Amino acid sequence: MFRKLTAFFRPSQGASDSAFAVDKLPTDPQLQVAMANAVLGDLLKERANNRRWTLIKRAGLATMFAMGLGYSLFFQAKFMGWSLMPSDPLVGVVRIEGSIANTTLASAEKVVAALKKAFETPNVKAVILAIDSPGGAPVEAERINYVLDELKAKHKKPVYAVIQNVGASAGYMIAMHADQIYAGRYSMVGSIGAVISSWDVHKALERFEIYQKVYASGELKAMLNPFVASTPAAEEKAHSIVNVMGGRFAEELRERRGKLLQEGFKYDTGEIWDGEGAKKIGLIDGLATIESVAARIEGAKIHDEPPRVSRRPVGLSQASTAVD
C-alpha cells in the first residue's frame, strides 16, 4: 500500500526534499479517481485485517486465561478434597423434609427428581431416604412410592429409610417402601391414619351478623365450607372418608411389614412412638443414624441429593386432607 503511495508522491531527482514531482502524476481525472479508490480499498482491507487479528488474539488470550483458571480451580478443588463428579463409591442421600405437599421441598416433583438422580448415578451403591416429616398429602406420597418401587426394580440398589426427628403419617408411608427402616432412639414414628381438617368460623361471623349464602347442587357439595354450619350428613361423610383412607394405610402397613408386626396390636390409632417403642412393635428394623447406616456400605461416602428449592408461592386452602 505504502509503496503505491510513494510511487506517485516520491520527490523527483534533483528537486528539493519539499518539492514533489507533480508532473509525474496522471492527468486523466477518471484514472486519478480509480487510483484513489484502489488506495482507499487497500487501506480499508488492511484495517479490517488488523481488527480481525486483534479480535482473534484477544479471544485466544481470553480462552487461554479461562482454561488456566479452570485447571487451577480443578486442581485446587482436588487438593481440598472437593469433586463435582465424585468417582468413589457413594451412598446417595435423598432428603424428604417438612410437610409433604405439592408446593414444598418434599413434593413428589422434587423428591422424584432427586431419587432418579441418585439411582441413575453409576457409583451410587445404595440410597438412603433421610425422612424428617410430620406427614402431608397422601397422593404426593403415593407418587413418590410408585417411582421409588420402579427405580428399585430397575436398578437393584438397596434402599434404607432413616427417620430423623419425625417420620409420621405420609412420611412413614414413604419409609415403608424402603428395604429397611431405621430411626433414632429419640425419633417420633407412626401416626398411622388419616385426617380431614377444616375451619369452622360461622359462629364468629354470626356475632357480627355476617352470613354467607351458598348454593350447592348437592347437600354435601359444600361440606367443608368454614363459613356455614356443618350438617350431620357432612359430619358422617367426613368420618367415612378418613376411615376409608386410614384403613388403606393400615392395610398397606400390614402388606409391607408383614410378620414384623405384633399380632393383634392396633396400629391405626394415629398415635406415635419413640424409636425404641417403634422397634418393639415392628414399625422399624433397628436404631441407627444416617452415618451408621452409610458406614455399612464398605468404602462408600455419603453424597446428598437434596430436592431443589421451589420458587412457587405456597397456596392457602380452606380445607386440607392428609394422611396423619
The answer as to whether 73 is a domain residue is yes
36 shares its domain with 128: no
| Closest to 171 measured CA to CA, from 148, 192, 154, 198 | 192
| Grid cell at residue 284 | 422399624
The answer as to whether 85 is a domain residue is no
121 shares its domain with 263: yes
The pLDDT, as a whole number, for residue 71 is 67
The answer as to whether 210 is a domain residue is yes
Residue 51 identity (one-letter amino acid): R
Q: Of 57, 80, 103, which residue sits at a domain end?
A: 80
pLDDT in tens, 189-243: 999 999 888 888 988 988 888 888 888 898 888 888 889 888 899 889 988 998 9
Q: Give the total number of structural domains in the chain.
A: 2
The pLDDT, as a whole number, for residue 24 is 53
For residue 39, give its domain range.
2-80
Indicate the average pLDDT of the chain: 81
Answer yes or no: are the C-beta atoms of 222 and 214 closer than 8 Å: yes
| Dihedrals phi, psi of 218, to nearest 5 degrees | -145, 160
142 shares its domain with 60: no
Q: Give 83 or 318, the one with higher predicted confidence.
A: 83
111 shares its domain with 203: yes
109 shares its domain with 76: no
Question: What CATH number does the domain containing 281 carry?
Answer: 3.90.226.10
pLDDT of 310 strictly over 60: no
Q: Of 80, 107, 129, which residue sits at a domain end?
A: 80
73 shares its domain with 201: no
76 shares its domain with 103: no
The pLDDT, as a whole number, for residue 321 is 37
Q: Of 59, 80, 101, which residue sits at a domain end?
A: 80
The pLDDT, as a whole number, for residue 25 is 53
